[in-house]
Structure 1
Amino acid sequence: MDLIDVIKAAGVIGAGGAGFPTHAKLTSKAEYILLNGAECEPLLRVDQQLMEQFPDEIIRGLEAAGRYIEARKAVIGIKGKHKEVVVLMRERITALGLSNYVEVMELRDIYPAGDEQVLVHELTQRIVPEASIPLKVGCVVINSETALNIAQAIAGSPVTETYITVAGDIPHRMTLKVPVGISIREVFKQCGVDNVDDYAVIDGGPMMGSVMNNLDGYVTKKSKGYVLLKKDHFLIRKKSVSVDRARVIGKTACEQCRMCTDLCPRYLLGHNMQPHKVMRALSYNLADVKDQQIAQLCCECNACELFSCPANLHPKSVNILYKQKLAEQGIRYQPTQLNFEARSAREYRLIPSKRLVAKIGLTAFDKPAPMTQIEFRPETIRVALRQHIGAPAIPVVAVGEQVQAGQLIGKIPDNSLGAAVHSSLSGSVIESTGDSIVIKVGSYV
């Protein structure tokens, strides 16, 4: 079977972000394949530990993907502060005889080093054009867990588990291998949190993740972390402000200092993303949103909102507001140039990770979250049919049917972008809807 077919059959998706189906990402040729091992979100610890535990598999998965797209070089980006991981990966690359094809480059400890476009520039000095993707400058980017899943797919194993860091103001911070479809509350219990009533939970990293409104959800293939903080923590209060409230605050208090723009990672790459101008538009009650198309260049890294703004306003939320308005009117940003250069001030405006952690009040929780082996024994799992960008999977099993761990339970719709879905545990199907499949685990049947 062709590598693309293997990856497609295994249901591999981008494990470090929005969940783009990996088989679709590898359909085009590129000069570089880059492995994003930056893990720039504070408190999350998945990538660095996966590279430490599965270096050969990750290197092999990256190599296979790189060879397939005919990349002339595979580059692994790891923050230089992870010295032991850097040394280990270089040793294993040499031991595998891949020194002429794969190399490790050390990244600076800045935020957001893991932003796809920032990563491309840091590793290749190329700049992805506005409103475009890395492929435009000859690069394909995957993350370390995706590379691991590619290697496992080649070995015959579909994606049925994901690695998650649970961190924050909790008794036991840890990183876990978790069956897809398990209850999120079950994951929290393993970290010593039986009662979550006093907590608010951020799904993902503390910068780009959102506060969960419902804690009765289930783990998906793209789940990467949960940050638990007390409800009165600054970060929770800031993230809980509604878009409408953010609009009112911004309209009345923005002093146009430009700090949101001057420290914006995309602006510093030469893009026309200027949050202060989007904030300015609030003050004029502009009904015509066409002039605010630059909002669509926002990558929602939240640096402006959680680090840059001296008045504690909400530039990212205002960008999202205008993004929504533009989408409703079918307006898309049209770049006026193709070639970009990083702004001369960029080197002096990069955001140090430790300063960011202090600014958002997480220094006390910025501690190791060691990989911990836990055997989960849930009564049921609920496997979502849409864990990825694209169309939801179509169920291929019926209520009452017995399924085995690793069995295909949802296929990609014909002629659609999507990803296959597999059962993470053996059991009996007790519910099947357009959204998910519920399986009663074997030991409870």
Structure 2
Amino acid sequence: MDLLNMIRDAGVIGAGGAGFPTHAKLTSKAEYILLNGAECEPLLRVDQQLMEQFADEIIKGLEAAGRYIEAGKAIIGIKGKHKDVIARLRERITALGLETFMEVMELRDMYPAGDEQVLVHELTQRIVPEASIPLKVGCVVINAETALNIFNALSGKPVTETYITIAGDVPQRFTVRVPVGLPIRDLLSKCGVENLADYAVIDGGPMMGSILNSLDGHVTKKSKGYVLLKKDHFLIRKKSVNLDQARIIGKTACEQCRMCTDLCPRYLLGHNMQPHKVMRALSYNLEDVKEQQIAQLCCECNACELFSCPANLHPKSVNIFYKRKLAEEGVKYQPTPMEYQTRSAREYRLIPSKRLIAKIGLTAFDKPAPLTPTDFQPEYIEISLRQHIGAPAVPIVAVGEQVQAGQMIGKIPDNSLGAPVHASLSGTVQEIRNNSIVIRVGSYV
């Protein structure tokens, strides 16, 4: 079995949050394979610790993927502040005899260094065209944990676990290896908060993550962090504004200062993403949404909404509003062929991570979250069939069937983009729902 089939059968997807099936990403040849170790979301601590503790495995997983796509160079991008991790990676690259193929490049401590297109430019000086992907400029990008999962796939080990940081206004901050399908409540019970009713929980990082409407969900392969904050915290109040409210507020209060545009990471790369123009459209009640196609260039990093806007408005939310309207009408942005160049002011408009953390009120919580061995013994797990971009997995087990940890329980639909799913713990299939498989864990059967 070749590498691509091993990765596919192991259910490897983008572990950084996007969830794109990795086997599909590796079907094309490229000049560079880039490892995204930037982990630019405040408070999250997964990738930096994995790269230190599993350096050899991640390096070998990256090498395997790079050789498969016939890349001439593999580059690990990591923020320069992680000096011990950088030293460890460089030492292991040399020890493994890969110094002519692979190198570590230090990134500036700015947001969003982990945005795929920002990362490509920082590591290669190339600019991904508007509405395109890194492959267009000869690059394939994978996440640090994805590289670890590729390494595991080489020995036939499927993705049944993920690494998650628990952070925020909690007594115990930690990073932990978690079985996929674990109830979120079981995970949050370890952080030392006695009454979760006083808190809101952000699924993912503070910038791009969204507030969970319920804590009754389950961990997926692309879960990366949960940030707990009191319900009256600025960030929670800001993220609680819905699209309709954001649209009304923007319509009445935007002063067209264009700070949202001037600090936009994609605009600074030379793209035509100009949030202030999208905001302006609200004021004029423009009915023809085709004129707002630039909204589709938004990467939803939230820099405009949580850092740039001096009036505390919601440019990102307005972009999402127009994105949805454009999708409903089947309108897709058509870029004008051009040579892209970064804006001349880019070097002076990068957002320092520490300033961002202070702006969103998280300085007091910007502390270590050490990787901590933790034993989870849930009564049941619920494996989502929609953990990835593409079609949901198709169940291949039946209610009442005994399954073993690592067993494939959902396969890729025929002729579809997708990824299989596996049981993370042994037990008995209790229920098969539209989008998930519930397994009662062994000791509770």
Q: Please indicate the TM-score interval, normalised by the length of the shorter structure.
A: over 0.9
Match of 2:47 in 1: 47
SS in 1 for 2:56: helix
* 1:350 alignment partner in structure 2: 350
User: Structure 2: 5+ residue runs without aligned partners?
Assistant: none
1:372-391 correspondence to structure 2 within 5 Å: 372-391=372-391
> Quick one: distance in 2 between partners of 1:155 and 1:57?
12
Residue matched to 1:224: 224
Distance in 1, matches of 2:434 and 2:11, equals 18
d(CA) in 2 for partners of 1:189 and 1:282?
A: 43
Deviations 1:323-373 (A, max 9, x none): 000000000000012420001100000000000000000000000000000
- Distance in 2 separating the partners of 1:395 and 1:315: 40
- TM-aligned CA deviation for residue 156 of structure 1: 1.5
Give 3-state SS (helix, strand or coil) of 2:64's partner. helix
1:315-330 equivalences under 5 Å are 315-330=315-330
Is 2:196 the partner of 1:196? yes
**Partners of 1:36 and 1:76 in 2: CA distance:** 7
Q: Within 2, Cα distance between the matches of 1:337 and 1:263?
A: 24
Q: How does 1:273-292 map to 2 (within 5 A)?
A: 273-292=273-292
Which TM-score applies when normalising by structure 2?
A: 1.00
Measure the CA separation in 2 of the matches of 1:387 and 1:330: 26
1:403: Cα distance to partner?
0.4
Aligned residue pairs total 445
Measure, in 2, the Cα distance between the counterparts of 1:39 and 1:336.
32
**CA displacement at 1:214 relative to structure 2:** 1.1
**Letter matched to residue 180 of structure 1:** V
TM-superposition CA deviations, 1:396-418 (whole Å, max 9, x none) = 10001000000000000000000
- TM-score in terms of structure 1 length: 1.00
Question: RMSD of the alignment, in Å?
Answer: 0.5
TM-fit CA distance, 1:17: 2.0
Q: Is the 8 A contact 1:176 1:372 kept in 2?
A: yes
Q: Secondary structure at the match of 1:34?
A: strand
Task: Give secondary structure in 1 for the equivalent of 2:182.
Answer: coil
How far apart are residue 375 of structure 1 and its match? 0.9
Matched residue, 2:63: 63
Letter in 1 for 2:390: G
Corresponding residue for residue 297 of structure 1: 297
For residue 372 of structure 1, give the secondary structure of its aligned residue in structure 2: coil
Secondary structure at the aligned position of 1:371 is classed as: coil
Q: Summarize the alignment of residues 115-194 of structure 1 with structure 2, pairs less than 5 Å apart.
A: 115-194=115-194
Distance apart, 1:189 and its partner CA: 0.7
The question of whether the paired residues in 2 share the 8 Å contact of 1:188 and 1:194 is answered with no
Superposed displacement of residue 194, structure 1: 4.2
- Find out whether 1:248 has 2:248 as its counterpart: yes
Q: Map 1:41-120; keep pairs closer than 5 Å.
A: 41-120=41-120
Shift of the alpha carbon at 1:433?
1.9
3-state DSSP of counterpart to 2:35: strand
Whether 1:401 and 2:401 are equivalent positions in the alignment is: yes
Shift in Å, 1:188: 0.5
Q: Which runs of 4+ in 1 moved over 2 A?
A: none
Inter-partner Cα distance in structure 2 for 1:191 and 1:199: 12
- 1:2 and 2:16 are equivalent in the alignment: no
